[in-house]
Chain A
Amino acid sequence: MPSFNETQPIFVQIRERIAAMILTESAKEGEPLPSVRSIAADLSVNPLTVTKAYDSLVALGVVESRRGVGMYVAEGGREKLLAHERDTFMSEEWPRIRTQIRALGLSLETLLKEDSK
């Protein structure tokens, strides 16, 4: 069983795993996602924690909760998720990375050269 890290709340880590399933299209739009119960049992976590993870994706319109049936990837959900993740990256992670790049004095040429290797 993959374990959790200590720095982020568990529901955030579960949310990221569900998001990864959608982004990599191992669950495509309109397809079912694992049930709250099965994720809770697989990871030995409280079902409310899994529900909290799903709720945040439902609020974004990425996941659709069909009453009495389960969770599905919403139509257009992957695009919405991608847009949201890009925003989060630009506003939260990029400033930190940019600061680090500057602090290390790395030039754009060096970075691009490394990237095309």
Chain B
Amino acid sequence: MTSTIVSVRNLRKQFGRMEILHGLDFDIPPGRIYGLVGHNGAGKTTTLNAMLGLTSYEGSVQVLGEDPYRHRARLMKDVAFISDVASLPRFLKVRELFQMLSDIHPNFSAEKAVGFLEGTDVRLGAVIGNLSKGMLAQLHLAVVLAIDAKLLVLDEPTLGLDITYRKRFYRRLLEDYMTEDRTLLITTHQVDEIEFMLSDIMFIRDGALILHMPMDQVAERFAQLVVAPDQSATAMALKPVFAETRFGQTVMVFDGANRDALQALGQVTTPTLSDLFVALMSRDTGVSK
């Protein structure tokens, strides 16, 4: 019925007299994998909290057609999330946790959760407080995957996990969660790891969205140029949004430049998300380095 999963208009948030979100506008359609990227303190978690009904705000937020702050309980049937600070009850055994969730959550399947734990080191009889960080992440993922959710929000889901766990984590998401009517929203600092998983990207800086577009448009709009030795001045005249010299080699990032024109000046590629992030975050700040 609702074709848009999340719809945000003029979202503002103040802590005391400090405004930390300055009027965000965005829509998230179903079937997409969204990446939300920004520095610490840029407003990522506050934005997610507003969507999850965990904080008050000004402006309008609709998640699956509901106001998350007023109808949080209803919404949580169809929304699941993992946040870095979310904690599972440490004193329960895994089996007891699943029982408790079956009792309180209408869309949770203990049977599915047990299935998702197969092949991991997490035992049903283990006390949650005794699990390692990696095992906790696996348990947490098993819990959210066992909820038949339309929207899954992951706030730094793999923080502190080693590379093997991270790979397995994302593999599980693609295998067991994603379908064309489900939506995934991820924030992470390890953006290169999920770059090819994303369908859309949002960059947030100082409480404002500075980039929001499908990934295939990123490749059309932005170009990275490794400048040939004698072409630096010509390339500079095309107004790159970012330029940096490392080991005598100059790398520039362009927004909306003609690729054919750039080809003549050096080697042209599409910047990785982390290169693009660095480029756009250092633009127009007025702060000298």
Contacts and interface: CB of A to CB of B under 8 A. Distances in A.
B171 A44 contact: yes
Contacts, number: 39
A111 to B, nearest CB: 29
B196 interface: yes
A40 B174 CA distance: 7
B196 A4 contact: yes
B5 interface: no
Main secondary structure of the interface of A (DSSP, over half): helix
Interface in A11-45: 37-38, 40-41, 43-45
Contacts of A44: 167, 170-171, 174, 193-194, 196-197
A41 B175 contact: yes
A46 interface: yes
B269 A45 contact: no
Contact of A10 (B174, B178, B196): B196
Interface in B202-218: 215-216
B250 interface: no
Given A9-B219, A37-B174, A40-B174, A45 B197 contact: yes
Nearest to B172: A41
Nearest to A48: B199
B270 A43 contact: no
- B contact patch SS: helix
* B interface residue count range (under 10 / 10 to 19 / 20 to 34 / 35 or more): 10 to 19
B33 A46 contact: yes
B52 to A, nearest CB: 24
Contacts of B167: 44
B257 interface: no
B198 interface: yes
A6 B197 CA distance: 16
B175 A37 contact: yes
Of B194, B196, B215, most buried by chain A (CB within 10 Å of CB) is: B196
Given A6-B270, A7-B269, A37-B175, A46 B196 contact: yes
Contacts of A38: 175
A38, A41, A46: most-surrounded residue (chain B CB, <10 A):
A46
A43 B196 contact: yes
Interface in B260-278: 269-270
B196 A41 contact: no
A7 B31 CA distance: 27
Contacts of B216: 9
A16 to B, nearest CB: 16
B199 A45 contact: no
A42 to B, nearest CB: 8
4 interchain residue pairs of minimum CB distance? A41-B174, A45-B196, A41-B175, A6-B269
Interface of B: 31, 33, 167, 170-171, 174-175, 178, 193-194, 196-199, 215-216, 219, 269-270
Given A7-B269, A44-B171, A44-B197, 10 more contacts: A4-B196, A9-B219, A37-B175, A40-B174, A40-B197, A44-B170, A44-B193, A47-B174, A48-B199, A49-B196
29 contacts: A4-B196, A6-B270, A7-B269, A9-B216, A10-B196, A37-B174, A37-B175, A37-B178, A38-B175, A40-B178, A41-B171, A41-B174, A41-B175, A44-B171, A44-B174, A44-B193, A44-B194, A44-B196, A45-B196, A45-B197, A46-B33, A46-B196, A46-B198, A46-B199, A46-B215, A47-B174, A48-B31, A48-B199, A49-B196
